[in-house]
Structure 1
Amino acid sequence: MNDSAELAREQAAVDSIYQVLDDNRTRYRQQQRAIEAHGATGSPQNRSERDVMSAHLGDQAARLEGVEERLVFGQITPLKGEKLYIGRVGLQDRNHQQVLMDWRAKAATPFYQATARHPLGMASRRHIGLHRRKVISLEDEAFNISHARKEGIELQGEGALLAALQAERSGRMGDIVATIQGEQDRIIRAKTSQILVIQGGPGTGKTAVALHRAAFLLYEQSERLAKSGVLIVGPSPAFLRYIEQVLPALGETGVVSTTISTLLPAVRAQATEHPKIAALKGDLRWVKLIKQAVRSLQRVPDCPQTISVGATKLLLAPQTVREAIKHARLSAKPHNQAREIFVTQVLDALTDQYLDIENRREREQLASAASAAGLEEIETVRDDLSERAFVREEIRANINARRAINLCWMPYSAQNLLRRLYAYPAFLARFAKEFTLAEQEILYRPKTADFTPADVPLLDELAELLGEVPSANSSSSTKAARQVHEKELSRAQAAIEAQGLGDGIVSATMLASRAGESVEQIALSERAYRDRSWTYGHVVVDEAQELSPMDWRCLLRRCPSRSFTVVGDLAQRIWGGKTGWKELLGPAASALEEEAYLTVCYRTPKEIMDLAESVSAAAGRPSPYPVQAVRNDPGCLVTRQVAAIDSPVLENVIKEEIVYLDNQLGKGRGRIALICGKNDFAGLRDICSQLPFRVGIDPISERVCLLDAVTSKGLEFDSVILLEPAHIGKQSVGNLFVAMTRPTRHLVTLHTEPLPAGWN
């Protein structure tokens, strides 16, 4: 609907809502400046109360400042009652009247789930299209008019949805908050408390649904998640850049985004390796191997060890070491932290031995002196505690004692121990009894080799058992910092409760991180990213069909509550084999609470989807959950056999696609990807460098880019030029399925070799 009078009425309503937004932003900032103007005076409790209010107001203002674009996108009119506007955030005017309902609120559910068959008490729904702050389109649906879509698919806001789908790709994923469909909304609002799997084929919006679910949980469980945060795990850095604007556009920023390769602080696992080696590293047999390797660092000597401390000879007996090891293990602390208990007990035993020797020597000397003087005995006055402390430190500092103790309980870092396992076959063989000799051999690599993504869960497993390598001042400084933080946390919590802000977006933990000069002032997301042992309130895992069992152990460690949203498509899995999510989740399978299915493909034309599924089926990998595409485009497929894929061929094809997109979307708009097999990438990059226009390798910022099929996972483009599909299919049928389903408009295929079976 584009009736001018109706557009004007809605424009007035939208203007009014934006005015409330501006007023709230201004009021929050003014109140924050007024509070901060008082300065850091008064009692600690007074300062905490000022800090908590300032932080609360600042965060409220920042949240509203991030939701300018498409603030209002819908309206619902109940059969009884007043119409309700739906938007990115909830807004109240100065009189506390609700002028805009947050899309995540329960009252907004009918906007997404009402249909003609099930109107949920609604008379009508309106989609409002905005450009900046101007109303440019209206689309109405009346629920008292019965209608049925072809093939049983009901699309909410069909006009708005198709407009969004037909818009050019920008290089960044946009939110779908204005066009969420009913099946998507039910998954977003699902009440599962543990693992929810979202199975969805290409173009079903599964990634967007997962991100909107994260935003929904941050809204619904704000108090819990404000303290722990949300972790998003994606398949590649390019994918994370692609989705990074979605949650901020929904008013949520307290999220950590990472790949498996960058999950551990200070570890960058960017090297590549053969898929067979990566699969072997993902095997759960590593759990036992790693545990035994760490235990091997705690060893009892075969015979007593002589330690010279000055003129005194001490013996470190095997029994002493055995008892100290047993005592340290009972603490259940990681290896490097339990070592201090071991060292303490060994030092105590050596100190006792030293004092016994010295006391015996002293008694003998005094007896000899008394005999020479004709006395029965000579009395002495001793400070036993002072002497014991002195002797203990002398032994601790003695190089011979340190060497002997280290040989019995060696401190070790996770990285050094894993490098040692790879570089020394005999050392690995001691613990790899469940691995064949051939498996052990392919794990070998020099100690200087870089880590790969498959090493990350092994490093994490080792770090969990080893703990941090102690430094000279780490214990005392950490303890002091913890005491300061706990004090600030207690004070902040009291301030929050005193001002009734417990349900706000500022928590005591957030405030404590800002309070006091001795506490580092960093955001929760940054603190979580730096801390390997941080546990999150919720974890979103995308392209989860590729994770190994060891990957899952690594992720489960970061979310003890098992609150996960797991996203993927079994048809896009690189390797075949396991066919169900229960199998693929490995150690996480016991926490699987619900599997949800997205069945409608919105992005990819039906012709492309049919072709991709035909090729996969012919290769013996039929899609276990085929989807129904809602768009037809008979001209979307172009297939050409060429003598060679060289500069002239690529130049002509790319120019044709640029002209096509310029005509369809406007000059310079739309994005093109050249997708090839991994082994073809280097050669094609050289060819592209000879073209008279730029072909980059960054799929986010370049209008025309070259990338391999694996890197294209999760991304989308207006046009895809698929190069030698047979090469991709030989490496992985799943990768070919991924590459074929990236475009929203055109799939142009160039090949010199025969096309894969099933290509009609």
Structure 2
Amino acid sequence: MSTPAHGSPGDPLARERSHLSASRSALRAMREDVEALDISDVTANWVNAQILERQIQERVKALADLSDTPLFFGRLDYLHAPGADRAEGAEGERFYIGRRHVHDADGDPMVIDWRAPVSQPFYRASRKDPLDVALRRRFGYTGGDLTAYEDERLSDPAEEATTSKLLQREIERPRVGPMRDIVATIQPEQDEIVRSGLSGSVCVQGGPGTGKTAVGLHRVAYLLYAHRERLARTGTLVVGPNRSFLHYIEQVLPALGELTVRQATVDDLVAHVEVRGADEAAAAVVKGDARMAQVLRRAVYAHVTPPTEPVVVVRGSRRWRVPAYELADIVRELLDRDIRYGAARDALPQRIAHAVLVQMERAGEAPDDRVQDAVARNGAVKAAVKAVWPAVDPAKLVLRLLTDADFLAAHAEGILTEDERKTILWARPVRLVKSARWSAADAVLIDEAADLVERTHSLGHVVLDEAQDLSPMQYRAVGRRCSTGSATVLGDLAQGTTPWATRSWTEALAHLGKPEAAVEELTAGFRVPTDVIAYASRLLPHIAPGLTPVASVRENPGSFEVRPVRDTADTVAACEESLRNEGSTGLIAADARVPALAEALTAAGVPYLAPGEETTAETRLTLVPASLAKGLEYDYVVLDEPRAVVDGEPDERTGLRRLYVSLTRAVSGLIVTHTAPLPAQLG
């Protein structure tokens, strides 16, 4: 293994720098070729021209050369040509592994996309199973400059196995700004999940620092590479817990050349109404319970009324009569088919018209499809459909359930208890949908009702991050978006901080509609220092008994201190101490204490950001309410008053989970400051 820092023109490092320079030139030529495309004679109309123009612009963006992002990070020297018969003695080939494919003017590859099959051994090869790799080379960069390399001769039994210093350095590198991709440091167990097929769904249980979010995002990138045409038609979506989180991860996929993946929160997906209210925890738990789906189904289909009158259609001098019993048979058949309410309602006039056409044929007439369509539009048929199968407005339906005690009781009988019904009923009657103070849980109910009426559009693949905090009804809402596609579910049962937090992945996946999904567990911690994760893991027996603690594999132990302080001024001093180090610092505190800490930071002249705002060289401190800390990470964290974090939640177990999340946001160092006694569970 070698790590030269400098090199003369004849040195390996100089040759690698030359290849980097040539690859950048080739990428620039690829981009210029796309920019020079003339589509004036290609398209027949302006619509196609605009679509093609947009596709060209997206391709140009995907070929951008980011100066501070290495174009390639590794090299593989094969013993034999991949796919060749080894008995023929075919000479091995050399491949540079990078974030995207780059070829020269002749079309020969200069950099291979990390997702290509030939790149897989970069992540999976080992001395025990070298996968025909003679040499694996890793590159080290400072900014965008190639400054070092390391070699592993996997086929040489005499060379001793050692830990990659460059790999450790990349994992532990300080972070400023949004989340980065991890293509240079993907581990074998992570790569196995990343490259799992599109047809199957995967659930990843991973503790803090195990890279589950990165694995999910890189799986999207891999699937887009392996199934681009299919996913271009069906679409992909990443669902995160809040806007701050989505802003933190939003640069990962574009850095890998993927620009078409939509990002949203669950609230974005179900935004049928404006959310202006909030539920008490007890009401939110009932509204989020999967039993509400049964209540809504009953309420929707209760609108169907068995017909009691015949339908009489007048055409010219003839009158055609469909008796009530025949109408009832048609309605019963549509109900038995269990299709969407709206689809059945649309089918009903055609079914009635068909019954009329049968009578016409028996009378010797020869009606065609145009006659059937005309009968279906007949006023008598329309009136019958309106009476038997009226239109349903999902928002109005949910509003009536939440404001009409008798209506709710009729459809929740045997499903919700009387106390549960009282819990979700609004105190004041509201008549208009627009004037209602809808909560986030109400919006999910409306989405469920809307899907009962009209099928929700399904995507090809959905990534659901921080899934442990979703209610059963929220899982159903996300599941509708991938009912004909697959899903990647990411989460940590120990970090569930909502009153309805997931108790088991088996239960959650059933609500999502993916009970067959494989559950994988990541237990190797790459980001959180050993002492920090060991301290936080003291809470696991109290918040998630039976869950495997994360084992930190970092060589750098980081720093950790529990520090009694007198007041907020001492906490600000701890922040200033952390800011003397390279990288970002997060001051995490109970939501109720954030205003006082903001005032103290301002008084001390320490600039700070809110979660979601990008750190800069001048402002590297973020003041983070504990409720928004999940999914974020900082090089150094100052955690203010653990007792206040616990007490800020409705119950102790939820508070301890919130504390576990807050304790595990640090990548290099953690200082816990407190004036009140620490929670007993921390020992």
TM-score computed with the length of structure 1 as normaliser: 0.73
1:239 aligns with 2:219: no
Query: Which of 524, 534, 537 is residue 610 of structure 1 equivalent to?
Result: 534
Q: Give 1:197 deviation, angstroms.
A: 1.5
Structure-2 residue corresponding to 1:552: 475
Partner residue, 1:443: 424
Task: Determine the C-alpha separation between the residues in 2 that align with 1:427 and 1:138.
Answer: 71
Which residue in the other structure is 1:493 paired with? none
User: Which of the numbers 213, 216, 227 marks the counterpart of 1:210?
Assistant: 216
- In 2: Cα distance, 1:344 partner to 1:123 partner: 69
For the pair shown, which has the larger CA radius of gyration, 1 or 2? 1
Q: Are the equivalent residues in 2 in contact too, given 1:117–1:146 (CA < 8 A)?
A: no
2:120 and 2:286 map into 1 onto residues whose CA distance is 46
Query: Is the Cα–Cα contact under 8 Å of residues 79 and 121 in structure 1 kept in the other structure?
Result: yes
Do the aligned partners of 1:719 and 1:747 also contact (CA within 8 Å) in 2?
yes
1:111–1:536 CA distance, 2 compared to 1 (3 A)? same
* Identity score, percent: 32
Structure with bigger RCO (C-alpha 8 Å, 6+ apart)? 1
Is 2:618 the counterpart of 1:700?
Answer: no
AA matched with 1:84: F
User: What's 2:99 paired with?
Assistant: 88
Q: Is the 8 A contact 2:243 2:612 kept in 1?
A: no
Residue 39 of structure 2 is matched in structure 1 by 35
Alignment of 1:268-283 (within 5 A): 269=275, 271-283=277-289
3-state SS of the aligned residue for 1:707?
A: strand
Partner of 2:642: 725
Aligned twin of 1:431:
411
Listed as ranges, the matches of 1:489-504 within 5 Å are none
- Counterpart residue type for residue 399 of structure 2: R
Structure 1 distance, partners of 2:47, 2:450, is 37
Hey, what's the Cα distance between the residues in 1 that align with 2:210 and 2:246? 19
Shift of 1:418: 1.1
Give the 3-state SS of the residue equivalent to 1:176 in structure 2.
coil
Query: Displacement of 1:54 after TM fit?
Result: 6.3
Q: Find 1:749's aligned residue among 667, 672, 680.
A: 672
Out of 664, 671, 686, the residue aligned to residue 584 of structure 2 is: 671
For structure 1, list consecutive stretches of 5 or more residues without a partner in the other structure: 150-154, 306-315, 351-384, 468-531, 644-648
Residue 217 of structure 1 aligns to a residue whose secondary structure is helix
Residue 596 of structure 1: which of 508, 517, 520 is its match? Answer: 520
Displacement of 1:544 after TM fit? 1.7
**What's the offset of the Cα at 1:431?**
0.6
Which residue pairs with 1:460 in the alignment? 447
CA distance in 2: counterparts of 1:405 and 1:593, whole angstroms = 42
CA distance in 1, matches of 2:472, 2:478: 10
The structure-2 alpha-carbon separation of the partners of 1:659 and 1:332, relative to structure 1 and needing over 3 Å to count, comes to same
Alignment gaps of 5+ in structure 2: 81-91, 312-321, 357-369, 647-651
Q: Greater CA deviation, 89-98 or 744-753?
A: 744-753
Please list, as runs of the form range in 1=range in 2, the aligned pairs for 1:553-632 lying within 5 A after superposition: 553-574=476-497, 580-588=504-512, 591-617=515-541, 619=542, 621-622=544-545, 624-631=547-554
Report the 3-state secondary structure (helix = DSSP H, G, I; strand = E; otherwise coil) of the residue aligned with 2:120.
Answer: helix
Change (3 A) 1:671 1:615: same
Distance in 2 (alpha carbons) for counterparts of 1:728 and 1:214? 35
AA of the residue aligned to 1:654: V
Equivalenced residue count is 622
Partner in structure 1 of residue 626 of structure 2: 709
8 Å contact kept, 1:263–1:456: no
Report the CA distance between 1:90 and its aligned residue. 1.4
Q: CA deviation at 1:583?
A: 2.8
Q: Are residue 78 (structure 1) and residue 89 (structure 2) matched? A: no
Report the Cα distance in structure 1 between the residues aligned to 2:531 and 2:214, rounded to whole angstroms.
23
Please say if residues 469 and 500 of structure 2, whose CA atoms lie closer than 8 Å, have aligned partners that are also in contact: no
Q: Residues 642 and 130 (structure 1 numbering): CA distance in 2 closer, same or farther, change over 3 Å? A: closer
**Deviation (angstroms), 1:203:** 0.6
Q: State the alpha-carbon separation in 1 of the partners of residues 340 and 515 from structure 2.
A: 26
Contact 1:228 1:537 in 2 (8 A): yes
CA distance in structure 2 between the partners assigned to 1:395 and 1:697 by the alignment: 62
**Cα 1:134–1:349 shift into 2, 3 Å:** closer
Question: Any idea what SS the aligned residue of 1:35 has?
Answer: coil
What SS class does the counterpart of residue 39 from structure 2 fall into?
helix
1:725-745: CA deviation from partner (whole Å, max 9, x where unpaired):
123332432221111100112
In structure 2, what is the equivalent of residue 254 of structure 1?
Answer: 260
1:519-534 alignment, distance < 5 Å: 533-534=456-457
Deviation string 1:582-602 (CA, Å, 9 cap, x unpaired) is 233233476434222222111
Change (3 A) 1:57 1:596: same
Distance 1:754 1:181 in 2: 40
Residue 25 of structure 2: SS of its match in structure 1?
helix
Cα pair 1:194 1:561 within 8 Å, conserved: no
Higher helix share: 1
Identify which range, 453-462 or 95-104, moves more after superposition.
453-462
Counterparts of residues 127-276 of structure 1 (less than 5 Å): 127-131=138-142, 133-143=144-154, 144=156, 145-147=158-160, 158-191=164-197, 193-264=199-270, 266-267=272-273, 269=275, 271-276=277-282
Looking at structure 2, the residues matched to 536 and 217 of structure 1 have their Cα atoms a distance apart, in angstroms, of: 13
Residues 282 and 423, structure 2, Cα contact 8 Å, conserved in 1: no
- Give the root-mean-square deviation of aligned CA atoms: 3.8
Amino acid at match of 1:109: Q
Distance (whole Å) between structure 2 residues aligned to residue 303 and residue 534 of structure 1: 37
Q: Which residue of 553, 564, 576 corresponds with 1:641?
A: 564
Displacement of 1:395 in angstroms is 7.6
Query: 2:239 & 2:553 partners in 1: Cα distance?
Result: 29
- Give how far 1:40 is off: 5.5
Show CA shifts across 1:410-455 (max 9, x none).
Answer: 4332222112211222211111111111111111225444333333
2:119 aligns to what?
A: 108
CA drift of 1:64 comes to 1.1
Distance 1:177 1:270 in 2: 41
Alpha-carbon distance in 2 for matches of 1:103, 1:246: 14
Q: Which deviates more from structure 2 when the two are superposed, residues 699-708 or residues 166-175?
A: 699-708
CA shift for structure 1 position 50: 7.9
Q: Distance in 1 between matches of 2:254 and 2:503?
A: 35
Distance 2:402 2:93 in 1: 69
SS at match of 2:134: strand
Task: Determine the structure 1 residue equivalent to 2:397.
Answer: 417
CA contact (8 A) 2:530 2:558 kept: no
1:317-360 per-position Cα deviation (integer Å, ceiling 9, x unaligned): 9879857755765786643454456578999999xxxxxxxxxx
Q: Which letter maps to 1:705?
A: T
**Once the 2 structures are TM-superposed, how far is the Cα of residue 300 of structure 1 from its aligned partner?**
5.2
Q: CA deviation at 1:256?
A: 1.5
Which of 661, 683, 693 is 2:579 aligned to? 661
**Cα deviation 1:289-319 (Å, max 9, x = unaligned):** 11110122233589999xxxxxxxxxx9987
Cα distance, 1:683–1:431 mapped onto 2, change above 3 Å? farther
C-alpha displacement of 1:260: 1.0
1:62 positional shift: 3.2
Paired residue secondary structure (1:16): helix
Pair 1:638–1:25, CA change in 2 (3 A): same
Closer/same/farther in 2, CA of residues 592 and 546 from structure 1, 3 Å limit:
farther
* Counterpart code for 1:727: A
| TM-fit CA distance, 1:175 | 0.3
Distance in 1, Cα, partners of 2:203 & 2:661 = 20
- The whole-number CA distance in structure 1 between the counterparts of 2:276 and 2:168 is 39
**Residues 1:93 and 1:606: Cα distance change in structure 2 (over 3 Å):** same
CA distance in 2, matches of 1:749, 1:133: 36
Q: CA deviation at 1:270?
A: 6.7
| CA distance in 2: counterparts of 1:675 and 1:441, whole angstroms | 37
Alpha carbons of 1:349 and 1:108: their partners in 2 closer, same or farther (altered >3 Å)? closer
CA gap of 1:349–1:93, structure 2 versus 1, over 3 A, is closer
Corresponding position of 2:88:
none
